[in-house]
Structure 1
């Protein structure tokens, strides 16, 4: 495995914990703002952001399993871009399906999603800045 793998796994663990915490927090805030609709919107928004974070980090960690393959670079980018495409299409489809649903508060969904994106960026920055990765590539 490349030396970046422990960093990715650490980001994955922190992302799971942050997603659980955000779902609980924004579900609670949503309940206080708009009762059942707010609970659903806040929890779903935070969960969506968490799933997108985990798909990104998880696809990179999974693609690193092919590091010894002679076609590692195309496989790596195929997996990562495939995950990005799944996220993009999934997000558009989800928004089209969820648009105008009476059981969902769109404001809480937006704020839960926004908070999830910000928290995932903070996690990425903290994990990368605290990591100790050598400046040279992995020895063969």
Structure 2
């Protein structure tokens, strides 16, 4: 009986997709922060500037939490408890987003400098841009149709049933 070393762990096929989406999402967020600041200032002065920056920032943070939580959860891939760990981390991220969103809205709602229309437009444009980045990344990534599967290279290495 020969001992076969375990196959090296490869990253999940979702890992490069999520990392690419986070990088491109960060670039788009930086562009939206600059554009939002300029347009917000033109439309509403200092309050419009702050509102646009707040709207883009809130959207970027909340949209990144899901991808980050999946990347963190994927570190347990291969563990017997991977599935409950994965869903616990992702669900925890979603609950955290819900709580933080409610707190952000309550805190920002009471501020005199917030222009609600500029904040709303910046938030919606940022969400749409983030979704567009996700779609483009998913369409451009080349993921094999059979991924995350390790096939034995030596037919004598695996278990056989006669």
Please report the TM-score for the alignment, with normalisation by the length of structure 1: 0.95
Answer yes or no: is 1:112 the counterpart of 2:122.
yes
Rounded to whole Å, the distance in 2 between the matches of 1:77 and 1:42 is 33
Match of 1:72 in 2: 82
CA contact (8 A) 1:63 1:80 kept: yes
Alignment RMSD: 1.0
For the pair shown, the structure with the greater C-alpha radius of gyration is 2
Write out aligned runs for 1:46-85 (5 A): 46-85=56-95
1:127 Cα deviation (Å)? Answer: 0.5
* Aligned residue pairs, count: 140
Q: Deviation string for 1:72-97 (max 9, x for gaps)?
A: 11111111111111111111111111
Answer yes or no: is 1:125 the counterpart of 2:135.
yes
1:100 Cα deviation (Å)? Answer: 3.2
Write out aligned runs for 1:1-140 (5 A): 1-140=11-150
More helix by share: 1
Greater length-normalized contact order (CA 8 Å, ≥ 6 residues apart): 1
1:12 Cα deviation (Å)? Answer: 0.7
Structure 2: stretches of 5+ with no match in the other structure = 1-10, 151-162
Rounded to whole Å, the distance in 1 between the matches of 2:99 and 2:66 is 14
Rounded to whole Å, the distance in 2 between the matches of 1:86 and 1:125 is 25
1:18 Cα deviation (Å)? Answer: 1.1
